[in-house]
């Protein structure tokens, strides 16, 4: 301990009377730390030694808490008083209040009071015994902390605490499944930001190999990640696969040109964009590419220009019509019972650009005549889309039915099956009704024109299906109707509460009045489909403003004939004015001036009649329609490119049908009678974050969804996951079976 020098130091009070005689430290070696004039401290080999001028007086190990307490209590006793509580607390690195506490306990109860006394439960009270063994068995099987906690009805925090304390152990089945391998959003964001190849570009080897032609495309590969934004959209993947998106896509397009983003990646990107309500490729930069890439099984999602390039490549193959036909055939084979009744209606897509001059048509929702394209959609008996055709130059419904719709329907249903078409008044044509009936096509439509009301006594009340949970009561009557060409049809009328009579005409003779009325009024489901697709799936969004040459021999109204008609109208108006002037002159006095005026008027009238007759003959000889290249520059005769539009619209149809399939599962669970609440629920599910946990050994891809806003929604989500797990769907391009896990539906 070194050499200690000390001396006797006599202390005096204010009156000079000696009070105490103590040994004090004089010269300290460097290894000693002075606490007070009478006490010093040193640390050697994990021990703390207290010294006074006479040498070491007490020592204890640094980790011996009880020995330290005893030293503190004894040294600071008033009878000893070798150091103040504050100085000793600073030297030992403890709080001064602890010094007073130790001294008080020592004075009251002695050294035994300084021992550590354990409070609370003497051991684990939630997880022990059989529960502990059951949880360990769950962890040995590879169960998650959440699943193991749910099995024994404890919190997930209890499991984590037991793992931390060592009472539970998790066996490491693979390097990917280690808990420490779970990457959180912040860690992934930092990796994406600092990627040297660009934001979230990390698979440099695969990109290089595809660029050199050694790989055809980047294959989906998943890692264990937590809280992936909008990974809930993976819940729609089983339904999308069931609709045939990837199978039909490969059947039609085969494979794309060698590149990191292959056909499956492009199809997945487009269908996920539709389900997530990403309206166009221009909106992709507003979504984190790395997070979207994790959903695709890639390092990042394609950029806007990359997706445009891939769509352009697919458009150059001109296979959009083949793709539409393949999907329609697949759906017709899967559900032939839904093809007995088909809803046919047109949807007008306005063109707001100014660069090109396109044919105009009436846009009903805007009540304007403006440049647009018209698609005629065919929906099945439950109003799910089947196929659509684009009308060149906005041809009307009757022309498109004959040219495109009916031949396509006949290919789908076979040569002999009768099909009932449900349409609005635009299809009215007695001649066509008769011809279609001979070709095994029946019609249900509204009667066109004016008609007299029937007596209200003829109408009878009939109970129909339910709407908003209540049965609908119809007042119906029926008569036979002979059309202008003597073709006999049935006329069914529905009387409303305000006395209006809605007339429905059908060529079906085997249907009841009630079924005819319900089928006709269900046509609004197709109108609702158009509205939903416009608002939710951006049906009117153009994937490109590119144009292609249109048919230069397409007939258009003759503008010269229109001018002649306007001239005739002006001349006839002038003739009427002259006749009026002549009549007014005849009523006046027969003076010489008035007689001369009437002679002039008569000559003018005769000359004008000759001009009108000449113009009328010229107008009659002119053709009503002429080829468009006779009235416009052939270079300006264009139409919007159809390939990319048809391709994107077809994928949106697949997304809608997949969402409808999921809504049909959810509706009974949440008690939704209209489907609106179910679709709203699904939109929320698609936006949910989720953990993605691949297990190559078990061949599964676990998608662990995060909690929704309430227990009711979690129950519905849990039921939906159970149904979708029964699909046994593998993620496209992998052998990993999708397994969905919902959060607990109860507390």
Query: Mean pLDDT for the chain?
Result: 87
Please provide residue 230's backbone torsions phi and psi, each rounded to the nearest 5 degrees: 60, 25
What integer pLDDT is reported at residue 8 of this predicted model?
A: 32
Ranking 65-69, 110-114, 281-285, 699-703 by mean pLDDT, the lowest is 110-114
Q: Which CATH superfamily is domain 336-543 in?
A: Transposase Inhibitor Protein From Tn5; Chain A, domain 1 (3.90.350.10)
Instruction: Judge whether residue 13 has pLDDT over 60.
Output: no
Mean pLDDT of 546-566: 84
Confidence band (pLDDT; 50, 70, 90) for 108?
Answer: confident
Confidence band (pLDDT; 50, 70, 90) for 485?
Answer: very high
What integer pLDDT is reported at residue 3 of this predicted model?
A: 30
Confidence band (pLDDT; 50, 70, 90) for 175?
Answer: very low
User: Is the Cβ–Cβ distance between 99 and 85 less than 8 Å?
Assistant: yes
Instruction: Judge whether residue 120 has pLDDT over 80.
Output: no
The beta strands (E) that lie in 397-545 are given as: 419-422, 441-446, 460-467, 470-482, 488-495, 501-506
Query: Is the pTM above the cut of 0.75?
Result: no
Confidence band (pLDDT; 50, 70, 90) for 339?
Answer: very high
User: Is the Cβ–Cβ distance between 388 and 376 less than 8 Å?
Assistant: yes
- How far, CA to CA in Å, does 54 sit from each of 29, 82, 313, 515? 14, 13, 95, 114
The greatest distance separating any two alpha carbons of the chain, rounded to the nearest whole angstrom, comes to 164
What integer pLDDT is reported at residue 213 of this predicted model?
A: 87
Instruction: Judge whether residue 315 has pLDDT over 90.
Output: yes
Domain range summary for the chain, segments of one domain joined by +: 6-114, 129-171, 185-317+643-741, 336-543, 559-622
* Rounded Cα distance, 740 and 693, in Å: 10
What integer pLDDT is reported at residue 673 of this predicted model?
A: 65
User: Is the Cβ–Cβ distance between 52 and 26 less than 8 Å?
Assistant: no
- How far, CA to CA in Å, does 48 sit from each of 270, 617, 683? 71, 127, 66
* Rounded Cα distance, 299 and 222, in Å: 9
* Rounded Cα distance, 252 and 246, in Å: 10
Beta-strand relationship, 501-506 and 441-446: antiparallel
pLDDT tens digits for 428-471? 999 999 999 999 999 999 999 999 999 999 999 999 877 656 78
How many C-beta atoms surround the C-beta of residue 248 within 10 A?
A: 21
Ranking 15-29, 44-58, 146-160, 583-597 by mean pLDDT, the lowest is 15-29
What does the CA dihedral 120, 122, 124, 128 come to, rounded to 10 degrees?
Answer: -150
Mean pLDDT of 624-652: 87
Residue 641 structure tokens: 């490119």
741, β-bridge pairs? 704
Residue 674 structure tokens: 């209209």
pLDDT tens digits for 72-97? 888 888 877 788 888 888 888 888 88
User: Is the Cβ–Cβ distance between 295 and 233 less than 8 Å?
Assistant: yes
* Rounded Cα distance, 600 and 119, in Å: 128
- 20 vs 693, residue with greater confidence: 693
What integer pLDDT is reported at residue 7 of this predicted model?
A: 31
Confidence band (pLDDT; 50, 70, 90) for 15?
Answer: very low
Confidence band (pLDDT; 50, 70, 90) for 734?
Answer: very high
- 249 vs 746, residue with greater confidence: 249
SS3 72: helix
SS3 241: helix
Confidence band (pLDDT; 50, 70, 90) for 695?
Answer: very high
Query: In which residue are the tokens 């009215």 written?
Result: 428
What integer pLDDT is reported at residue 249 of this predicted model?
A: 96
Instruction: Judge whether residue 533 has pLDDT over 70.
Output: yes
Instruction: Judge whether residue 118 has pLDDT over 70.
Output: no
Instruction: Judge whether residue 25 has pLDDT over 80.
Output: no
User: Is the Cβ–Cβ distance between 152 and 127 less than 8 Å?
Assistant: yes
SS3 25: strand
What integer pLDDT is reported at residue 33 of this predicted model?
A: 81
11, β-bridge pairs? 20
User: Is the Cβ–Cβ distance between 456 and 494 less than 8 Å?
Assistant: no
SS3 103: helix
Mean pLDDT of 34-46: 83
Beta-strand relationship, 419-422 and 368-379: unpaired
What integer pLDDT is reported at residue 105 of this predicted model?
A: 85
Report DSSP state, residue 370.
E
- How far, CA to CA in Å, does 307 sit from each of 39, 77, 214, 310? 80, 82, 22, 5
pLDDT tens digits for 347-380? 999 888 877 788 888 888 888 888 889 999 999 9
Residue 505 structure tokens: 């005409």
Q: Which residues 6+ apart lie within 8 Å of 89 measured at CB? A: 95, 96, 98, 99
- Which helix H or strand E contains 51, and what residues bound it? strand 47-52
Of 331, 406, 335, 411, which is closest to residue 376 (Cα–Cα)?
406
* Rounded Cα distance, 716 and 665, in Å: 9
What integer pLDDT is reported at residue 14 of this predicted model?
A: 40
Instruction: Judge whether residue 621 has pLDDT over 60.
Output: yes
Of 185, 289, 237, 193, which is closest to residue 689 (Cα–Cα)?
185
Q: Which residues 6+ apart lie within 8 Å of 177 measured at CB? A: 142, 224, 693, 695
Of 698, 690, 744, which is closest to residue 236 (Cα–Cα)?
690
* Rounded Cα distance, 255 and 127, in Å: 55
Work out whether the CA dihedral 509, 512, 518, 519 comes out positive or negative: negative
Ranking 170-184, 502-516, 730-744 by mean pLDDT, the lowest is 170-184
* Rounded Cα distance, 706 and 714, in Å: 9
User: Is the Cβ–Cβ distance between 389 and 579 less than 8 Å?
Assistant: no
What does the CA dihedral 302, 304, 306, 307 come to, rounded to 10 degrees?
Answer: 80
- How far, CA to CA in Å, does 45 sit from each of 32, 35, 41, 195, 215? 14, 20, 14, 49, 64
Query: In which residue are the tokens 């609908």 written?
Result: 472
Ranking 129-138, 479-488, 559-568, 689-698 by mean pLDDT, the lowest is 129-138
- 390 vs 175, residue with greater confidence: 390
* Rounded Cα distance, 691 and 702, in Å: 8
CA-based radius of gyration for the chain: 44
Q: Which residues 6+ apart lie within 8 Å of 520 measured at CB? A: 422, 444, 445, 446, 504
* Rounded Cα distance, 628 and 395, in Å: 14
* Rounded Cα distance, 419 and 524, in Å: 19
Instruction: Judge whether residue 9 has pLDDT over 50.
Output: no
What integer pLDDT is reported at residue 469 of this predicted model?
A: 61
Residue-by-residue DSSP string for 425-446: GGG--HHHHHHHHHTTEEEEEE
Residue-by-residue DSSP string for 382-397: TS-EEEEEEEGGG--H
Residue 681 structure tokens: 């629920």
Beta-strand relationship, 547-549 and 638-640: antiparallel
Mean pLDDT of 63-71: 84
What integer pLDDT is reported at residue 180 of this predicted model?
A: 42
* Rounded Cα distance, 138 and 131, in Å: 11
Q: Return the HEC string of 172-236.
A: CCCHHHCHHHCECHHHHHHHHHCCCCCCCCCCHHHHHHHHHCCCCCCCCCCCCEEEECCHHHHHH
| Count of all residues that appear for the chain in the document | 747
For the chain, the distance separating the N- and C-terminal CA atoms, rounded to the nearest angstrom, is 65
35-38's contacts with Cβ under 8 Å and 24+ in sequence apart are 35/82, 35/83, 35/87, 35/88, 35/91, 36/82, 36/83, 36/84, 36/87, 38/82, 38/83
- How far, CA to CA in Å, does 713 sit from each of 232, 341, 441, 572, 718? 14, 35, 45, 73, 9
């Amino acid at each position: 301990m070194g050499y200690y020098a000390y001396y006797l130091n006599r202390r005096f009070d204010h009156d000079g009377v000696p009070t105490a005689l103590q040994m004090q430290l004089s010269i300290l070696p460097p290894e000693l730390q002075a606490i007070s004039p009478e006490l010093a401290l040193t640390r050697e080999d994990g021990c703390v030694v207290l010294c006074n001028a006479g040498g070491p007086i007490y020592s204890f190990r640094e980790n011996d808490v009880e020995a330290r307490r005893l030293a503190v209590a004894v040294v600071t006793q008033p009878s000893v008083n070798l150091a103040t509580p504050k100085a000793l607390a600073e030297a030992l690195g403890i709080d001064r209040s602890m010094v007073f506490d130790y001294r008080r306990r020592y004075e009251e109860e002695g050294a035994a009071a300084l021992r550590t006394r354990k409070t609370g439960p003497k051991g684990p009270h939630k997880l022990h015994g059989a529960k502990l063994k059951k949880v360990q068995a769950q962890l040995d099987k590879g169960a998650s902390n959440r699943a193991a906690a749910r099995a024994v009805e404890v919190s997930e925090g209890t499991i984590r605490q037991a793992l931390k304390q060592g009472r539970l152990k998790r066996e490491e089945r693979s390097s990917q499944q280690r808990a420490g391998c779970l990457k959180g959003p912040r860690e992934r964001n930092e990796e994406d930001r600092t990627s040297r190849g660009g934001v979230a570009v990390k698979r440099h080897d695969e990109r290089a190999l595809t660029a050199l032609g050694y790989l055809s495309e980047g294959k989906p590969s998943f890692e264990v990640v937590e809280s992936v934004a909008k990974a809930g959209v993976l819940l729609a993947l089983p339904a999308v696969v069931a609709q045939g998106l990837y199978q039909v896509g490969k059947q039609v397009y085969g494979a794309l040109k060698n590149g990191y983003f292959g056909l499956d990646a492009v199809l997945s990107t487009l269908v996920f964009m539709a389900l997530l309500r990403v309206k166009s490729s221009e909106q992709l930069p507003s979504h984190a590419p790395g997070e979207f890439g994790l959903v695709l099984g890639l390092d990042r999602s394609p950029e806007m220009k990359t997706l445009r390039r891939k769509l352009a490549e697919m458009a150059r193959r001109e296979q959009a019509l083949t793709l539409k036909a393949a999907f329609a055939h697949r759906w017709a084979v899967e559900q032939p019972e839904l093809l007995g009744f088909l809803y046919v209606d047109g949807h007008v897509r306005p063109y707001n650009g100014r660069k090109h001059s396109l044919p105009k048509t009436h846009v009903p929702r805007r009540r304007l005549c403006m440049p647009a394209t018209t698609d005629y959609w065919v929906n099945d008996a439950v109003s799910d889309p089947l196929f659509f055709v684009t009308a060149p130059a906005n041809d009307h419904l009757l022309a498109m039915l004959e040219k495109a719709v009916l031949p396509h329907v006949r290919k789908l249903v076979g040569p002999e099956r009768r099909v009932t078409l449900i349409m609005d008044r635009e299809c009215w044509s007695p001649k066509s009704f008769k011809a279609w009936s001979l070709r095994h096509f029946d019609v249900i439509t509204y009667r066109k024109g004016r008609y007299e009301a029937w007596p209200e006594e003829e109408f009878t009340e009939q109970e129909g299906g339910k709407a908003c949970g209540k049965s609908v009561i119809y007042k119906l009557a029926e008569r036979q109707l002979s059309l202008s060409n003597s073709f006999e049809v049935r006329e069914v009328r529905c009387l409303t509460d305000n006395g209006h009579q809605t007339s429905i005409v059908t060529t079906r003779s085997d249907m009841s009045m009630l079924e005819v009325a319900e089928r006709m009024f269900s046509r609004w489901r197709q109108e609702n489909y158009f509205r939903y697709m416009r608002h939710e799936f951006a049906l009117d969004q153009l994937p490109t403003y590119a144009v292609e040459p249109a048919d230069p021999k397409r007939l258009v109204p003759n503008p010269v004939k229109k001018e002649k008609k306007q001239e005739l109208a002006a001349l006839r108006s002038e003739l009427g004015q002259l006749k009026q002037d002549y009549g007014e002159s005849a009523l006046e006095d027969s003076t010489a001036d008035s007689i001369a005026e009437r002679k002039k008027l008569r000559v003018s009238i005769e000359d004008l009649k000759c001009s009108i007759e000449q113009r009328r003959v010229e107008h009659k000889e002119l053709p009503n329609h002429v080829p468009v290249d006779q009235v416009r520059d052939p270079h300006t005769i264009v139409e919007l490119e159809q390939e990319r539009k048809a391709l994107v619209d077809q994928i949106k149809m697949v997304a809608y049908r997949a969402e409808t399939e999921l809504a049909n599962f959810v509706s009974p669970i949440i008690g939704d009678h209209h489907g609106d609440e179910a679709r709203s629920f699904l939109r929320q599910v698609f936006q949910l974050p989720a953990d993605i946990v691949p297990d190559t050994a078990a061949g599964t891809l676990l998608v662990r969804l995060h909690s929704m806003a309430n227990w009711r929604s979690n129950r519905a989500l849990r039921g939906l996951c159970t149904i979708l797990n029964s699909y046994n769907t593998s993620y496209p391009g992998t052998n990993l079976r999708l397994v969905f896990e919902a959060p607990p539906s109860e507390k």
